[in-house]
C-alpha cells in the first residue's frame, strides 16, 4: 500500500504510522523535514510551498515503485508534502515506511528523501526576516530533461535580485 498526498494541513506522525503499520512488519522508519529558523545565516520566518500537483503526485508514486524495486520487503509507504505556508518547527515533508526488518525501511527512507528533493516538482519560498523590509528566497525543484534544477533567487527591498545555485544542484561544480 502506497499513500502519497499533498496537503495544506499540518502533518501528524501518529496518523502516518497508523497508515503504514502492518502485522508482518517489525520496523517503521520515518523522516520529518521541518522548517528551521535559519537559512544561510539568516533568520527564517516561514516557508511557503507550491507544486505542479498532478505531476508531483505522479512522481511520488513513481518513487514508491522505485523503492519497492530496491527493497522488495518494504510493506507500506506514506509520503506527505505540505503546500502553502509552513511555520518554523512544523513539518513540510514526511516519509514513513514499514518493513519486516529495520535495515530496509531505514535505507528506503534515506533514499526516498534524497530522491524526492531531486525530482519532485515542488517549489519552496524561504521567507527571511531582516530588520529592514522583507527578504525572500525562492528555491525551486523541478524536472526538466530528467535533471532537477535547484536555485535560489534573493530579492532585496531595493528591487535588485541575485540568482544562486542551491547546494543540492546535481550539476554544481565542486
- Chain-centroid distance of CA 52 in Å reads 14
Pairing, β 76-82 against β 42-51: unpaired
Q: Is 102 annotated as a binding residue?
A: yes
65 is in an annotated binding site: no
Residue 109 sits at φ, ψ, to 5 deg, of: -65, -45
Give the CB-side neighbour count of residue 98, counting CA atoms within 13 A. Answer: 17
Beta partners for residue 93, in sequence order: 33, 81
Q: How far is CA 123 from the centre of its chain?
A: 10
User: Is 101 known as a binding-site position?
Assistant: yes
Joined together, the cell numbers standing for residue 15 give 496518523
Classify residue 130 by burial, with Cβ atoms within 10 Å: 0-12, 13-18, 19+: exposed
**What does DSSP assign to residue 65?**
H
Q: Are 15 and 66 in contact (CB under 8 A)?
A: no
Residue ranges for the known binding site are 101-102, 117
Residue ranges for the known binding site for substrate are 101-102, 117
Amino acid at each position: 500500500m502506497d499513500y502519497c498526498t499533498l496537503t495544506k494541513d499540518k502533518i501528524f506522525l501518529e496518523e502516518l504510522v497508523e497508515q503504514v503499520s502492518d502485522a508482518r512488519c517489525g520496523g517503521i522508519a520515518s523522516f520529518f523535514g521541518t522548517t528551521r529558523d535559519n537559512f544561510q545565516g539568516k533568520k527564517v520566518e516561514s516557508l511557503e510551498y507550491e507544486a505542479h500537483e498532478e505531476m508531483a503526485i505522479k512522481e511520488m508514486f513513481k518513487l514508491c515503485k522505485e523503492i519497492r524495486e530496491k527493497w522488495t520487503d518494504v510493506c507500506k509507504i506514506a509520503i506527505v508534502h505540505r503546500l502553502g505556508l509552513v511555520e518554523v518547527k512544523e513539518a513540510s515533508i514526511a516519509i514513513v515506511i514499514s518493513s519486516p526488518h529495520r535495515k530496509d525501511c531505514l535505507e528506503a527512507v534515506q533514499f526516498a528523501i534524497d530522491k524526492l528533493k531531486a525530482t519532485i516538482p515542488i517549489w519552496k519560498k524561504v521567507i527571511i526576516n531582516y530588520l529592514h523590509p522583507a527578504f525572500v528566497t525562492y528555491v525551486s525543484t523541478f524536472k526538466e530533461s530528467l535533471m532537477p534544477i535547484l536555485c535560489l533567487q534573493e530579492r532585496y527591498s531595493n528591487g535588485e535580485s541575485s540568482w544562486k545555485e542551491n547546494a543540492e544542484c546535481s550539476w554544481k561544480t565542486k
